[in-house]
Every structure is written in C-alpha cells, then in structure tokens.
Structure 1
Amino acid sequence: MQSFTEENYLKTIYNLANRQQGEVSTNALAEVTATKAASVTDMLRKLSDKQLIHYKKYQGVRLTEEGERLALQIIRRHRLWEVFLVEKLGFSWDKVHDIAEELEHIRSEELVTRLDTYLGNPQFDPHGDPIPTSAGQMPETGYRKLSEAEVGEGVCLMAVLEHSTGFLQHLDYSDLSLGSTVVIQEISAFDKSFRVQTETGRTVFVSHEVAKNLLVN
C-alpha cells in the first residue's frame, strides 16, 4: 500500500506527463511539490522499487502501467470529491482543491462507487477536468487554449489549467465562468492580451497568461 506522499507523487507525475506530453524531470517534480531535489530523488527510488515508475538518474520519469492505474484512481477520487463539495455542500470552486487533496486518500472502493452514483456519474469536475471512469479510462476532451483562438471567434469556456484560489477568484471577478461563451473582439499585437465580450454583454480584458490557462471548445 502506498503512503499519502507516494500517492501525491503518482498523481503529480501523471498530470505533468500529460501537460508536457512526455517524461517528467526531477526538477519539474521538485518545483511542483516544493521539495528539494534530493528528497524527490529518494521518493522516486522508492516508487521505482515498487515498480510504479520507470526511473533512471538524470533521465525523465514515467509511470508504469500499475503506477498509471493507481494515479487514475487517485485523480478519480479527487475530482468526484470536488463535485460533491461544490454541488452538495455549496463550496465555491476556488475552495475545494485543498479539501479534496485530503479526501482523495480515502481508499474505500465502495465509498467511491456510491459517491459516483449519488452524484449522477458526473463526467467533469467543477474546474472542467474530466473524471476517469471506474475502469481507469480518462475521457478525451479535445479542448484548446483560449490563447489559440482568433479574432471574431465565439468560444465556450470549458476548463482551467490553473487551480489556484487567486486565479479562480480572478475569473469570477472577470465574469468568466465555465460553460459560458465569449466572443474574441481584439487581440493585442503588443502583449497578446484579449478583449472579449461575455454572455452578459460585459467587455473583459484577458491577459495572455490567463488565456493560456483557460481551455475552450
């Protein structure tokens, strides 16, 4: 059985590998986990000994088939708990990540199955992230970044890549909610920022950094 820290590493490796489309470096893990590189290396050796990752010093890290299976279970639990916290307990979407980080380590499969059924088998969490199925399959979304959109396009905001409280509160303040449509009115040649019109008719300026962290359809 894996410790909570080991589970967190498996989840982090999975998420980084999918974002980077490849193997994950020790430095990237150290940055995301706010841990010294030496401590990261020690954990990677433990996970390698358990045959949950493929790891060689000074090379990238990737999950084994078993490591990926476990990572998807953890992600599934995390995202189902986020749905529960928002839909059933009334938490705002900027408050649930840290709570779900704790709840995701409850390993009862019966509890997860009942939770999934109780919630109506949701496919996405409050941040627009797909929820892995009970069989360990991650749904494909085909989303692209808002920063890749062009002037005149109307796009639907589907998900966020950044889950920090400050970022999500900024979106709320800017009237940028998931499921809503915005029209790209202008893109600055200077800093790549966007001027968009929301469904409510409000004109909002979106920085390039924000646009890179918003996924649209």
Structure 2
Amino acid sequence: MTGDAGTRLPTSNVSQDYLKAIYAAVEWGGPATSVSALAARMGVSPSTASETVRRLADEGLVHHERYGGISLTGRGREAALAMVRRHRLIETLLVEHLGYEWDEVHDEAEVLEHAVSDLLIERVDALLGHPVRDPHGDPIPSASGEVSLPPTRPLGEAPAGEGGRIVRISDAEPQVLRHLADVGMNLDAHVEVVETRPYVGTTLFAVTQPGESQPARVELGDPAVAAVWITR
C-alpha cells in the first residue's frame, strides 16, 4: 500500500495506527513514548504493544532501545506523516463540508483514513483549498511530507497579564472540546491570562474573538487549560 508522494505504508491498520501514535507523542515537543504509554494510548496490554513495536522495528520503521523511548526511522516517519495527512484532511472535510462538530470527527477519521485511496485524498486536499491545519489547529503535512509547526507554548505556561492567539486545541478529550467551543475558546481567538486561582484549580481569561474588540471573561479548569496552545 502506498501513501502520498509514493510513500510505502504498512499493510496493517494496526501498524499504521502505531506509527501515527508514536509521531503524535513528540509532534508538539513531548518526550518519546514508552511501551507502557503507547499501550495505554492504543488500549492494549503492554505485552501486545511490545510485540507490535518489536515487529515495527524488524520492519525498519522504528528504533527501540530496551526500556527506552520509541522513535521513528526515516521510513517510519514518512509513513506516519502520510497517515497523519489522511486523518487531518478527513477531519477537515467532515467539519467544513459534512456538518460535523470538531469534537465528533476524530473517531470517524480513524476509520476512514485506512479505507481511502491516495487519489481521493488528493481530491479532498484540492477541494478544501490545500489547508495547512485541521479543525483543531494541528498542521496537515504536505503530500511530500513537509510539516510547518508555528512557534507555540501551552496556555498553562503563560503568566497573568500575558497571552496570545489560540493556534491549537488538543482533540484528546471530546468533552473538553465541546466545553471550550461553548465558552468561545476557538482557533485564532486572542486569550489573555487575567488571574490564576490555584486554590480551586481554575484560571480566569479574557477572550477576544477575531474581528471583535470586547473580550469576554472565561474561567477554565486545569484540564481544559492544558488542551490549549497559543502563539509564543
């Protein structure tokens, strides 16, 4: 099975999902994933994850030192980016043309990304106008595997009086996505930290939507704050 720009993809859906997960762990500056963390992410036992990683290493797609982190080889990274491109283009299509909300698209894309052809993905890309980010702000790799990450920082790292434009919102928890949408924490809105309230685990923000001048006050709990990334 080939992917974008002729990238050779593993024939197994499981292998494709593992490569994507290994890439996602480090995409925004996180540490290389471990077998136990990968097992938790994939919803399998550590022994099952270990066996799959061993098979991927035998195929030349990952590096794994015993008891160490798992990293992608050059071939593994190419395959991972091809799958990420498929996933994020499908998410964007579902939101922009099929009426899905941004908290509904992840599971659908997880299924569809394995079934679509390279030609369909390129037609989707053209239909959407070659977008550079998905509905959550994650970058969409180009057909040649190029990725452009904006300089960002987690919102939780900004002290009182500072902020920036929202450029990414993690899609890991659909309930968090729904809450953030409800309170106006959307991509490209400007957010400023007004006051941290560690005694109750919340932070107060001033949020200004694009094209507007009056900010709204929004109070978020720590899990919601952790999902938001802003310009550095």
Coarse TM-score class (shorter-chain normalised)? over 0.9
Cα–Cα, structure 1 residues 176 and 7, in superposed 2: closer, same or farther, change >3 Å? same
> Which secondary structure state, in structure 1, belongs to the residue aligned with residue 21 of structure 2?
helix
Between the aligned partners of 2:124 and 2:55, the Cα distance in structure 1 is 32
Quote how far apart the aligned CAs of 1:189 are: 4.9
> TM-score w.r.t. structure 1 length?
0.92
1:215 correspondence with 2:214: no
Aligned-pair distance for 1:57? Answer: 3.2
**Is there any run of 5+ residues in structure 1 with no aligned partner, and where?**
none
What residue ranges of structure 2 are gaps of 5+ in the alignment? 1-9, 209-213
Match of residue 195 from structure 1: 204
- 8 Å contact from structure 1 (residues 94, 163) kept in 2: no
Shift of 1:106: 3.0
> 1:18 & 1:172 partners in 2: Cα distance?
24
Give the CA deviation at 1:210.
1.9
One-letter code of the match for 1:55?
A: H
* CA distance in structure 2 between the aligned counterparts of 1:56 and 1:153, rounded to whole angstroms: 41
State the superposition RMSD in angstroms.
1.8
In the alignment, the residues of structure 2 paired with residue 107 and residue 189 of structure 1 have an alpha-carbon distance, to the nearest angstrom, of 46
Q: CA deviation at 1:138?
A: 1.4
TM-score (norm 2): 0.87
Q: Which moved more, 1:18-27 or 1:45-54?
A: 18-27
In 2, the alpha carbon distance for the partners of 1:26 and 1:76 equals: 24
Alignment: residue pair count: 217
Structure 1 residue 37 corresponds to structure 2 residue 46: yes
My pick for the range that moved more, 22-31 or 4-13, is 22-31
Which among 119, 126, 141 is matched to residue 110 of structure 1? 119
User: Where does 1:64-79 land on structure 2 (aligned, <5 Å)?
Assistant: 64-79=73-88
Matched, 1:6 2:15: yes
- Distance, in Å, in 1 between the alignment partners of 2:141 and 2:41 is 22
